[in-house]
Amino acid sequence: QGSELSGWATGRWTYEGIDLNHNFADLNTALWDAEDNDLVPHEFPNHYIPIPEYYTFANATVAPETRAVIDWMQRYPFVLSANLHGGELVVTYPFDMTRTYWKAQELTPTADDGVFRWLATVYATSNLAMASEERRLCHYDDFIRFGNIINGANWHTVPGSMNDFSYLHTNCFEITVELSCDKFPHASELPAEWENNRESLLLYMEQVGDG
């Protein structure tokens, strides 16, 4: 269809109709309920939270792609990760899900908020498109005044995100990078997109050694 004719949701759902962006186990709610009942950490862990039993059932609405990624995460002890998305120019960091379940937007920081903000800032300040003096708004949200980073839940709530799951289930620090205002760039534009993100990706990975 081309970048100008594709809707934001094109390619988001699997053949079975599952949105992979919201398909991981919601560990946030269990943690927050336990915190509200003073069960953390002695009766309920605040990290390496186990996957709920209902999520493991054969008839659970879990895509095979999601199950494969979870198996992969459990086999390898990743400590740093990034989701690469498109359609905006911003770096988001956990939590992605609002603590108040009925709110569409709410600042919901993790206990490691300072580390996440640093990781997001490292990427955003070294990304050529985000750091450009000619940077303009992609759509309506003004992320420039926040340094092109934002707490995911403070932008829009995403229950069952991979970022939150990675953090709570495996202790992996994961962010989401919205790479470009254009969600579906043309092939001819890909070299420029690579140049915009090459240094950011390298600097981001180097944070593992600096932690």
CATH number at residue 138: 3.40.630.10
**Is residue 5 assigned to a domain?**
no
Is 178 in the active site?
Answer: yes
Reading the block at residue 210, the tokens are: 């600096």
Query: Looking at the predicted structure, is the pLDDT value of residue 210 above 80?
Result: no
Quote the CA–CA distance of 31 and 37 in Å, as a whole number.
Answer: 10
pLDDT, residue 185, reads 87
The range of the structural domain enclosing residue 76 comes to: 11-209
**What CA–CA distance (Å, rounded) separates 40 from 30?**
11
Number of structural domains (the chain) is 1
Q: What band does 6 get if pLDDT is binned at 50, 70 and 90?
A: low
Whether residue 4 lies inside any domain: the answer is no
Instruction: State the pLDDT confidence band at 196, using cuts at 50, 70 and 90.
Output: very high
Residue 10, both tokens: 């094109």
The answer to whether residue 129 is domain-embedded is yes
**Position 122 in a domain:** yes
Residues 31, 168: Cα–Cα separation, whole Å: 9
Q: Residue 55: inside a domain, yes or no? A: yes
Cα–Cα distance measured from residue 95 to residue 163, given in angstroms and rounded to the nearest whole number: 8
Of residues 53, 65, 106, 178, which has the active-site annotation? Answer: 178
**Is residue 6, in this structure, part of any structural domain at all?**
no
Report yes or no on 2 lying in a domain: no
